[in-house]
Amino acid sequence: MRGVSGLKRYALSVCAGAVIVAGCSVTPQRSSNLPDSSAAVMPRLPSYADPATLLASSTKVALWVSYEIFGNLLGLDKGGNVVVTVDAWDNGCTPPLTVKVDHEQNVWVACQFLNPPYLWGGEQEYSSSGTVKRSYAFDASRFCGSGYSRCAAQSWDGGWDNKGHVFAELSEGTWLFGSTNSRVVHNMRLGFFWWNANDPSGPATFIRASRYCKPMCGVYYMDTDRAGNIWFDFSSTGYPGLKGGLGEVTNPTTSPSVRVVFPAGTYQQPGGVYVSGHGTVLNVTDELAQLIYQYHLPVTRTSRPFNVLGPTRGAPLSGGFNKAESAMALGDLRSGIHIGNLRANLWSLYACYVPHESSPCSGAAFTPSDK
């Protein structure tokens, strides 16, 4: 599971692990008192979330945020008011994690588990108004050993490339073999599923990045560059005690090749990976260091950051830039949204909660974005 210092993410994540260990139900358990679509849940966003970041529509969404325990995708206006509430849980996304916005202002959400029976992850695409356009759910059961008693795999991030192919990570997976009193836990092979743009409803193709925790135990966050290559961070040890490294998948849809660019230990804790600068800059967030490292693409083993953003506060996870690349929004592991003024490198942490109910907001994305 993702996290720091042994912190469990939230009830569904705990139960997701229990699917494998104890067989508990992963049916979403939510409060019946969901926030009203017009309720203000955050302080006012700073002035550098300027009108250029707003949609030319009546909803005036400036920022999309995933609100995990309640299973919502929230559209916030410039003032931090919720103007769109999407029940991702009812759409089978349990729960929504990272959020990205493409050049057409479609919203892409990584689902830790997607669709019943809530054993496999995937990616969902929403319109600019928050309507589901398509779900991309994978099935990793073929990676479970013969005679397994339980098997499940999670997805923590995904996205698309400039040809329209869609990706979803197999971030972490485990299968059990044996009876209740003599169970043996096996780690699943990790990697990336992708759907062909010419056949989005067809079967997904799998790219293996690791097997049995070699060379990595968890695939965390990802993005694609203008050549369609995947950049991702990973951990080489199981939870807790994570140390992050950087990897690349070249030619993922034609002749995939996976390589470790920076070894585990380069980052204290894997965080969001985001390609900016019209495909020329790779941004890697270190959650524990509270820093965002910027590299010129392509990144090699001898590359060094040309710039470092931060420090932020809290536990920054995943997000992206506004259209002008003057601001960055990041979700937070604990319960907040980070907004950074990139010209001044000044960062503020805003609450992501309804009264008396806190929740991680793993993903945040400006709309329109710089994609």
Q: What is the pLDDT of residue 187?
A: 80
Q: Is residue 371 part of a domain?
A: no
CATH number assigned to the domain comprising residue 278: 2.120.10.30
Give me the pLDDT at residue 308, please.
Answer: 98
Residue 54 lies in a domain: yes
In a domain, residue 1? The reply is no
| 228 inside domain | yes
Per-residue pLDDT, 12: 31
Is residue 4 in a domain?
Answer: no
Question: Is 169 within the bounds of a domain?
Answer: yes
The verdict on residue 16 lying in a domain is yes
**Structural domains in the chain (count):** 1
The confidence score (pLDDT) of residue 144 equals 84
pTM of the model: 0.84
From 157, 161, 185, select the one nearest 171 (Cα to Cα). Answer: 157
How are beta strands 107-111 and 122-126 bridged, if at all?
A: antiparallel
Q: Residue 176 falls within a domain, yes or no?
A: yes
Residues 6+ apart with CB under 8 A from 342: 309, 321, 325, 326, 327, 328
pLDDT at position 186, please?
77
User: Which pLDDT tens digits describe the chain residue by residue (371 residues)?
Assistant: 343 222 223 333 323 333 332 222 222 222 222 222 233 333 433 332 333 333 334 458 999 999 888 888 989 888 777 888 899 999 999 999 999 999 999 999 999 999 988 899 999 999 999 999 999 999 998 888 777 778 899 999 999 999 999 999 999 988 877 665 656 777 888 999 999 999 999 899 999 999 878 888 899 999 999 999 999 999 987 555 578 999 999 999 999 999 999 999 999 999 999 999 999 999 999 999 999 999 999 999 999 999 999 999 889 999 999 999 999 999 998 768 999 999 999 998 887 755 545 567 889 999 999 99
Tokens matching residue 123: 């990616």
Q: What domain range includes position 341?
A: 11-366
What's the full length of the chain, in residues? 371
DSSP for 102-161, please give it. Answer: -TT--EEEEESSBSTT--S-EEEEE-TTS-EEEEEE---GGGSPTTEEEEEEE---EEE-
How far is residue 141's CA from residue 118's CA, in Å, rounded to a whole number?
12
Q: At 220, is the secondary structure helix, strand, or coil?
A: strand
